[in-house]
Structure 1
Amino acid sequence: MLLHEIAEIVRSLKDPRLGFVTITGVETTPDLRTAHVYYSVLGSAEQHEACAAALEAAAGHVRGEVGHRVRLKYTPAIVFSPDYGIVEGAKISNLLRKIANKSGQL
């Protein structure tokens, strides 16, 4: 539920630094006071940094919107963290492709 709402809120933000950001997961602490929001960005290192800055700047707004949209005892503090799983997965796929190409050339 939080994943969907936070993704919708981030998508509605008008910050151009958030061009190709995807919310990939949300984990809350047991007391529901903090939500760790994981995201991935397609682009260069500069775009990753700009996106991280934009998300940090928008964290308070996102928290407020979550408070309006989701009924919880506490509105969790929002902490954005990059999700490197997609990047690492792409690296592994490239390595496997290279191995397959080399074995086909033997």
Structure 2
Amino acid sequence: MEYLVTMVTRVPDGTTEREVAEVRAREAAHSHELAARGRLLRLWRPPLGPGEWRSIDLFDDEDPEALERTLAAMPLRVWRTDEPTELGPTPPILAGARSRSRRTARST
């Protein structure tokens, strides 16, 4: 099942730049791993205001509980709130296109 997740991160006051950089580096590595496993399908970063971190992500997971485990394992979760929205089934004509797109992406 696919889930659109709005993620908003708020770093607590007093957090050092070094701590932020370390957590962001771990988050990036973890996101690459999720993408390689086909769990994180897309990530968008909309325009942000000062001091605001937000992304909109498309995940593919078995069910809401599996998605929660995936999100809870992400390093930025310590500072982030997530709002998942379960998407309906992909129409058959689009599902075939998506499958072809994934095969092409894996072969490059």
Q: TM-score, normalised by structure 2?
A: 0.36
Larger RCO: Structure 1 or Structure 2 (Cα < 8 Å, ≥ 6 residues apart)? 2
Instruction: Say which structure is richer in helix.
Output: 1
Instruction: Say which structure is richer in strand.
Output: 2
Q: TM-score, normalised by structure 1?
A: 0.36
Give the number of the structure whose alpha-carbon radius of gyration is greater.
Answer: 1
